[in-house]
Chain A
């Protein structure tokens, strides 16, 4: 494609990239390998591969990209064109490794009338040595994104969506994908769920539970920071809870012909050891109205914060394991110490729980400060009222959480209003009562008399 770039796209996706992709290549490639890299990959990935293997051939569809890559690399061959014309006359007839972490979609341009997904896989496979390794990316067409954002692109297609052949579509869903790969005669060694996307693969996981799920949820939440249909972080964690997260992952890596791959990419990104995220534990307690659980946990947590002076120890970055606490990962530290630090962390939890539309066991209004005071009081800390300069507005990102918040506030408002009417009635009942009226009739003149008598006394003293 002459006037087209996947490296610097105008109206298309950027190339495959991300630390999880780098880590996969690190784990799967060795120094003696001859490698074919097919499709758009970031320059970082390309140079990393070139640096660590014996030979690297690159196939890209964009002419400007091919030129840019060729200038960058000395010893690699760069082929520009579509996969269906990439015959054994070009490059080697066999490769030890074929890398297509962007998937098979962007291996052809509009000059190719038809190359089905299965045919594209077959052409790559033809060039793979019999004991060769294949690293394949695939985007999920029905992943978390569907629940988080309306699919505007379906109604407003980009330049790259020129409309393929009717029969030319990638397998939809994880099972069909795995079946298609297996049907091609490839033995799948590993399937990774990739978050948040192929073009920004920050983490790839073979299993999604507990702490790994938190990482996936954070990755999805970070790239959906604007208004959403529902809270991305919550959505991922709830899907994990229902065992659906691998199927709903934004994308997958399928690896064939490699053994001994790590279960988590990049290695070590999921904290070791058992435990649950403290925030999840606290939210679970809120959800079932278990205030005793909060009362048990929060004092221990606050004691830990005070002992460790854990500036980055907000509940969404702390692992609770039985009765011990440790940090989950890096987080923005808070500039405070002692009780103020603990209160700041609890305030962050209070805000996040309100924003997540969580059930609140008490009338919480939209008041982060009041909720913080309640939580802090469980640890024996009394937060002075009205210290913060301005009222904080709770802003749930997702429409679903906004509706939940509206419903909660609506009920609390109706109750507050009914209470005002009830109390007003009680006060007016008291005012009309005989004891009040008698008291009033007696006390008012009595006050006047006392006041006058005091004045007289003062004059006498002078």
Chain B
């Protein structure tokens, strides 16, 4: 249906979960990242009456209040990934240190900020080895990559999330899971999907440093100020595990995961 359904290999993960070798078209729109509004990128042009599959009930409530309909809260694709890869249920041997995700933009919106200051704040808070994971468009810029390399960090990327059904790295999320399993902490300069993913599998989360600015960030999302108002307890370098657990359970929609038969029914994969 919508090309965003395939970002990060989401459609492939859902297909594996539903017992299908390849993802057929999904009847509806699948939320592709943690979202503090209606579950979708600003300006997504929804076909009328199409279902919207979102992670959490808060997203459904906000979207409904803004005139959107036909939500089904099913939890994040991340949760389905964890079910598809039971082999990755425990930390890797010798897991140590921190994986840090500098806030990323995407092809259409770049982040504005000083990566040097991020390096400084990482050094201020982290004691163990640090892996910095850049989004592919930043990873491919040596100028940015080298700022972190020169800081003494291991620099990686999980791949390309894909655009318009092309060059989707279907293994994106599983690579991310593998990488997270090698660490004990996950941190970012913004509360974001990656922090949620890490925290959901038991990594201690942290949020610190210059949050940077997303180019042309839409004001309806409320930006960083809103995130800090809604979840002040998560805006700290060392978030207590119990608080992190409650937050990730709610925002990833742990109570909303549907069984394979229901996914097939909802996505119209039985036809």
Chain A residues near B (Cβ < 8 Å): 289, 291-292, 295, 299, 361-363, 373-374, 377-382, 385, 412, 414-416, 418-419, 422-423
Contact = CB atoms under 8 A, between A and B. Distances in A.
B107 to A, nearest CB: 21
Contact of A385 (B73, B260, B266, B271): B271
B262 interface: yes
Interface in B232-271: 255-256, 258-262, 264-266, 270-271
A272 to B, nearest CB: 32
A292 B48 contact: no
B264 A382 contact: yes
A242 to B, nearest CB: 25
Nearest to A296: B255
A292 B47 contact: no
B264 A423 contact: no
A385 B57 CA distance: 30
B51 interface: yes
B47 A382 contact: no
A224 to B, nearest CB: 33
B70 A362 contact: yes
Interface residues of B, number: 24
Nearest to A426: B47
Contact of B49 (A291, A373, A381, A415): A415
Given A295-B256, A415-B48, A416-B49, A361 B261 contact: no
B38 to A, nearest CB: 15
Interface in B53-95: 57, 60, 64, 70-73
24 contacts: A291-B256, A292-B57, A292-B255, A295-B256, A361-B70, A361-B71, A362-B51, A362-B70, A362-B72, A373-B270, A377-B262, A377-B264, A377-B265, A378-B258, A378-B262, A380-B260, A381-B261, A382-B265, A385-B271, A415-B49, A418-B48, A419-B48, A419-B49, A419-B50
Contacts of B50: 419
A374 B268 CA distance: 10
Contacts of A423: 47
A399 B260 CA distance: 39
A117 B200 CA distance: 73
A48 B146 CA distance: 99
Which of B258, B262, B266 has the most CB atoms of chain A within a 10 A radius of its CB? B262
Contacts of B260: 380
A27 B48 CA distance: 62
Contacts of B48: 414-416, 418-419, 422
Contacts of B71: 289, 361
Interface of B: 47-51, 57, 60, 64, 70-73, 255-256, 258-262, 264-266, 270-271
Given A373-B270, A381-B261, A382-B261, 18 more contacts: A361-B72, A362-B70, A363-B49, A363-B51, A374-B265, A377-B261, A377-B262, A377-B266, A378-B261, A385-B270, A385-B271, A412-B49, A415-B48, A415-B49, A418-B48, A419-B50, A422-B48, A423-B47
Contacts of B270: 373, 382, 385
Contacts of B49: 363, 412, 415-416, 418-419
Contacts of A382: 261, 264-265, 270
B238 to A, nearest CB: 31
A291 B49 CA distance: 18
Contacts of B266: 374, 377
Contact of B265 (A363, A373, A414): A373
B262 A422 contact: no
Contacts of A291: 72-73, 256
Nearest to A373: B265
Contact of A380 (B72, B255, B256, B261): B261
Contacts of A379: 259, 261
B70 to A, nearest CB: 6
A363 B261 CA distance: 19
